Structure 1
Amino acid sequence: MEGAILPSLPNTRVAVVTGGNKGIGFEVCRQLASGGIAVVLTARDEMRGGEAVERLNALGLSHVVFHQLEITDASSAAALAGFLKARFGKLDILVNNAAVGGVEYGQEFDTNEEKFGGMDFHQRVEWMLKNAREPIDSAKNSVKTNYYGTKHVIEALLPLLQASSEGRIVNVSSNYGLLRHIGNEEVRQELNDVDNLTEERLAELLDKFMKDFEAGALEPHGWPTKFSAYKVAKTAMNAYSRILARRHPELRVNCAHPGFVKTDMSMGSGVLTPEEGARNLVKVALLPDGGPTGAYFAMGEEALFV
């Protein structure tokens, strides 16, 4: 798949989508490719990633190829960067979609959507919150993947984005990443103070969160107690995105919440289809030159980080 022919014309835009083999990521790949953009679909699993590309190729989208990527592995991100540099010499759009929920639902639950037929939005969210468990290993993996993994990819691909005249980064976020979920006012203010916030301080706050998690002391220190690691990691990624936008004004760096989508992560309890969720992300990825940067978009519309 990596050897497939992709357009190499100077005016052909190139996009990378992480976690592109299913759900929202797959739909982002399809929609970008349908717009004439050359897409590099990435996933951890080579077989699943290859099969996803075959499905897109079968739709007539021949300018989509697969490249393996484990976002928590810096060497894997470096290998992707090498591939992109050799093939294109640049990257125009990076959609950081790969993520984990950081919770477990147990084997008794499946993704059968029929159980949600009589539930409204709030009831579906309550079901998810009620049935999710958050063991320490899952919490650690959430922070490792959703914050540090995404950061690995951005750092590896940043030179290629800078080589583009229209570099775009879309960090897939969530309404769970809004500052309102942080009960500690001092921490909340720090995360919102992008003029003074640093990557080093973000790392310190994440370390403090994990120590409080392990000590069973989330609530006394103002951390969220449901989907806690996911919320904190997404909040940190939102803050990092704003730092990055200030540091690199030549790029468009934004966070985008696709909505509550029916995916494996939500156990099928969402209200939007992957196609609808992806449309909200693609809209941000295709913002015009001079458009917003360092912003948060909720379901395609600019909103507040709080």
Structure 2
Amino acid sequence: MEGAIPRASSEKRVALVTGGNRGMGFEICRQLASGGLAVVLTARDERRGAEAVGRLRRLGLPDVVFHQLEITEPASAARLADFVRDKFGKLDVLVNNAGIMGVTMDVGDEVAVKEMMAGKDQNEIAAWLKQQTTQNTQQGEECLKINYRGTKTVTEALLPLVQSSDGRIVNVTSAFGLLRFFSGEELRQELSSVDTLTKQRLDELSALYLEDSKSGDLERRGWPTDPVYSAYQASKALLCAYTRILARDNPALRVNCVHPGYVETEMNCNTGNLTAAEGASVSVAVALAEQGGVTGAYFDRTEIASFL
């Protein structure tokens, strides 16, 4: 699937990428535009978003436009939907890439990080990084607000525009969001029960996680209990469940989630073992796969894998 080329069409397809001004999001925009799609690059910061579009145009990719987006604000998502509707009348591909770890990493400067990485394998680097990482309750709340609720807000606003015969939604997730990190069997079963799970219930579970986190009792319902990554794990698990609900309720669309691998990004202080381009290629390949492909699936890089 990696590097797949979209089928030929007399009408240019339109893609929108959240968090597209840097890193993997920027690469997703570049690769989609290079594949012949018109691309709407979105970002919270207007200056950085406009600069990213300028870089892409200097690379010979003129069919890229910028629109500001604060994914946690319904009004901002509504303005984005109005812009896409007015300019293009449709949306063929939505890639929800924007997200945060919701932590503080005290690692020093770039030189210090590179010195630390010298001679270490990926497990040693990850262990060192975790030792330098902390999370407070407010950061955990922001993590769920952006990664799950924000992605849902934007998707719901844009969903009417993606209702074509071959619409695609790709949600960038993480292997950290797999249900193996949940100790509560009842919670795992509920998040796995795609036939009966609802968006309203996911919102309720999001609120319950924050309630349990604030009370210091994540074990009560069996949430992930990692002291620094728990909120990130919960947010991505909720996103995976939301992906499956979307696929169930919109059978004409191809809705999937993708773990791009451990990619060099600012979120992990550029300690990943994959480049931004390598990470982006997976989301792009899933977005541009042949018509009639899989939906409601979790991709671990290019392979379909279990949500567990």
Structure 2 CA distance for aligned equivalents of residues 128 and 200 of structure 1: 36
Cα distance in structure 2, aligned partners of 1:127 and 1:167? 41
Contact 2:104 2:135 in 1 (8 A): yes
Q: Which residue of 1 aligns with 2:305?
A: 303
Tell me the residue number matched to 1:109: 108
TM value normalised by structure 1: 0.94
Paired with 1:110 and 1:71, the residues of 2 have a C-alpha distance of 29
2:292 is matched by which residue type in structure 1?
G
The Cα offsets for residues 92-150 of structure 1, whole Å up to 9 and x where unpaired, read as 000000001111113x5344451213221211221232221110110000010000000
Residues 258-283 of structure 1 show CA distances to partners (whole Å, capped at 9, x for unaligned) of 10011010111111110100011111
Report what 2:280 is aligned to.
278
Distance 1:96 1:209, change over 3 A: same
Equivalent residues in 2 for 1:215-294 (5 A)? 215-226=215-226, 227-294=229-296
Distance in 1 separating the partners of 2:118 and 2:295: 38
Give me the whole-angstrom Cα distance separating, in 2, the residues matched to 1:273 and 1:48.
21
Q: In the alignment, residue 68 of structure 2 is paired with which amino acid?
A: Q
Partner of 2:3: none
Q: 1:18 to 1:111 in 2, by over 3 A?
A: farther
Stretches of structure 1 lacking an aligned partner (at least 5 in a row): 1-8
- The equivalent of 2:180 in structure 1 is 180
SS of aligned partner of 1:249: coil
2:105–2:132: 8 Å Cα contact kept in structure 1? yes
Residues 154-196 of structure 1, C-alpha deviation per residue, up to 9 Å, x if partnerless?
000001001x331100000100111111111110111011111
Q: Is the 2:187–2:221 Cα contact (8 Å) retained in structure 1? A: no
Distance 2:280 2:168 in 1: 16
Instruction: Give the secondary-structure state (helix, strand or coil) at the position aligned to 2:67.
Output: strand
The one-letter amino acid of 1:172's match is: V
Conservation of the 8 A alpha-carbon contact between 2:168 and 2:253: yes
217-226 or 281-290, which moves further after superposition?
A: 217-226
Amino acid at match of 2:108: F
- Relative CO higher for 1 or 2, CA cutoff 8 Å, sep ≥ 6? 2
**Distance in 2, Cα, partners of 1:135 & 1:165:** 44
CA distance in 2, matches of 1:182, 1:109: 32
Alignment of 1:58-137 (within 5 A): 58-106=58-106, 108-112=107-111, 113-114=113-114, 115-137=116-138
Q: Which residue of 1 aligns with 2:152?
A: 151
Taking the aligned partners of 2:175 and 2:109, their CA distance within structure 1 comes to 24
SS at match of 1:265: helix
CA distance, structure 2, for counterparts of residue 221 and residue 90 of structure 1: 42
What residue identity is the alignment partner of 1:257?
H
Q: Which amino acid aligns with 1:130?
A: Q
Q: Which residue identity is paired with 1:194?
A: V
Tell me, in whole angstroms, the C-alpha distance in 1 between the residues paired with 2:276 and 2:210: 31
Residue 6 of structure 1 is matched in structure 2 by none
Q: Which piece of structure 1 moves more, 144-153 or 192-201?
A: 192-201
* TM-align CA RMSD: 1.3
Evaluate the alpha carbon distance shift between residue 57 and residue 268 of structure 1 in structure 2; reply closer, same or farther with a 3 A threshold.
same
Identity, % of aligned positions: 55
Amino acid at match of 1:239: A
Q: Distance in 1 between matches of 2:26 and 2:177?
A: 23
TM-superposed CA distance for 1:10, in Å, is 6.0
Task: Tell me if structure 2 keeps the 8 A contact 1:18–1:43.
Answer: yes
Q: Which residue of 2 aligns with 1:214?
A: 214
**Alpha-carbon deviation of 1:224?**
1.6
The 8 Å contact of residues 110 and 267 in structure 1, kept in 2 or not, is answered as: no
Q: Name the CA distance, whole Å, in 2 between partners of 1:214 and 1:247.
A: 33
Q: Aligned with 1:170: secondary structure?
A: strand
CA distance in structure 2 between the partners assigned to 1:168 and 1:245 by the alignment? 10
SS at match of 2:65: strand
